[in-house]
Structure formats: structure tokens, C-alpha cells
């Protein structure tokens, strides 16, 4: 049998056609995104798609853990803090508004299918909107670096020092398939009552 000889020119031609094919195949999802009417795409850099957010796998958490994550429950990408304590924590009460007090702890745990010691709060300071991320595991106090606002995380993020007028709002958690998800505000009406959150267009 005589093998069909492929000329050097044909080798180049087939290689080029193959490359085009691979490019088209790889670009298909991107091209589909362009022609699919999706007002949320593309998102600006750093923005998170609105809705529930997977935070972390439960197996990666250990008592004492503190991690931050991005989330978006409607109009803005924000930063959340997730804590895992080996003790029972006090959650925020519902149906309170800014002005009621700097301690709104004593509420029910409304998280679903996650360990008792898990709790999450939005890291947008209720004073002027800085990001309180300085965590002291020994004292259980989260500090806002701008004006030294102090939040007691084990006790409903009660304000225990500095100028913040109200606790940072709690985020509702849910366990899904071994992962922890942030699924929404615990009390949207409380968030709406916070001046900084309204002024920054969060709600």
C-alpha cells in the first residue's frame, strides 16, 4: 500500500485549520455569554453576582477560625466575616432599628444546618462605613481601624466602644452539601434602618 504523502504546504494548512477549530471551541462559552441577554454580565472587576454565596467548606473550619468573604445581596458587593466558636454565641434580635441601642443581642439562631458556634456579620462599620477587620480572638472584639469602633462578636456584635451607633448586621447562614453559604440578611429591615447602609446604596 502506498501511503498518501502529505505535502509540507498541507501540513501547515491542516495545522492552521486545527488551531482555528480549537479557538472556536474554547471561545464558545464566552461567545454565548455575549449573545445571551444577561444584564449581570460582565460584572465589573471585584464585583460579586447578587444572590447566595458559598463561603467555605465545613471541613475547612475549626473552632477559633475567622475568615472574610465577599457577598452581594442586591445592590453592592460587600465583605462579610465568618467566625466559628466552640461555644454558643448570642445572635441579634429581629425587629429592631438603628437608635434602639448599641446592643441588640439575645435573638434566636436562624442559621440552618450549620454548627451552633458559626456566626457571620457584615464588615461595613455603622459609623462611617470603614471595614472593621481587626480581630482579637483573645478578647472576642472586632475593631474598626478608622475611629476605634469596637464590636463584641460573641454577643450579637454589640458596640462596646467607639462611635458606631449600632451593631453591624448579622448575615444568615445555611449548610448546603457540606459547604457554608451566606444566604441573606438576618433582618433586612434592620439593615434598611442603618444610615450608612442606606447612604452607600447597600439597600
Q: Establish whether the linkage from the previous residue to 125 is cis, with ω within 30° of 0.
A: no
Nearer to ligand FES, 52 or 130 (CB): 130
Q: Give the nearest distance from C-beta 29 to ligand FES in angstroms.
A: 42
- Please, which residue, 183 or 202, has the CB nearer to ligand FES? 202
Q: How far is the CB of 163 from ligand FES (least distance, A)?
A: 5
Rounded Cα distance, 184 and 73, in Å: 6
Task: At 120, give phi and psi (nearest 5°).
Answer: -140, 140
Binding site for ligand FES (CB under 6 A): 125, 127-128, 130, 144, 146-147, 149, 162-164
Owner of C-alpha cell 445572635: 91
Q: How far is the CB of 28 from ligand FES (least distance, A)?
A: 47
Nearest to 48 by CA among 68, 65, 28: 68
Which C-beta is closer to ligand FES: that of 51 or that of 165? 165
Please say which residue, 125 or 171, places its beta carbon nearer to ligand FES.
125
What is the C-alpha to C-alpha distance for residues 195 and 126, in angstroms, rounded to an integer? 8
- Most distant CA atoms of the chain, gap in Å: 93
* Grid cell locating 175: 449548610
Q: In whole angstroms, how close is the CB of 191 to ligand FES at the nearest point?
A: 17
Amino acid at each position: 500500500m502506498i501511503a498518501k504523502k502529505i505535502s509540507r504546504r498541507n501540513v501547515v494548512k491542516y495545522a492552521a485549520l486545527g488551531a482555528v477549530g480549537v479557538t472556536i471551541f474554547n471561545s464558545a462559552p464566552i461567545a454565548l455569554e455575549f449573545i445571551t441577554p444577561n444584564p449581570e454580565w460582565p460584572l465589573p472587576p471585584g464585583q460579586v453576582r447578587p444572590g447566595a454565596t458559598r463561603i467555605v467548606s465545613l471541613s475547612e473550619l475549626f473552632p477559633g477560625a475567622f475568615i472574610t468573604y465577599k457577598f452581594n445581596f442586591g445592590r453592592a458587593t460587600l465583605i462579610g466575616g465568618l467566625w466559628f466558636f466552640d461555644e454558643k454565641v448570642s445572635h441579634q434580635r429581629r425587629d429592631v432599628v438603628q437608635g434602639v441601642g448599641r446592643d441588640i443581642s439575645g435573638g434566636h439562631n436562624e442559621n440552618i444546618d450549620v454548627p451552633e458556634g458559626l456566626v457571620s456579620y457584615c464588615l461595613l462599620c455603622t459609623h462611617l462605613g470603614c471595614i472593621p477587620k481587626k480581630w482579637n480572638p483573645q478578647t472576642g472584639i472586632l475593631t474598626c481601624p478608622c475611629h476605634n469602633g469596637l464590636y463584641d462578636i460573641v454577643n450579637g456584635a454589640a458596640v462596646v466602644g467607639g462611635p458606631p451607633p449600632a451593631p453591624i448586621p448579622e448575615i444568615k447562614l445555611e449548610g448546603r452539601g457540606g459547604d457554608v453559604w451566606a444566604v441573606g440578611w438576618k433582618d433586612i429591615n434592620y439593615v434598611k434602618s442603618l444610615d450608612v447602609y442606606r447612604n452607600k446604596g447597600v439597600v
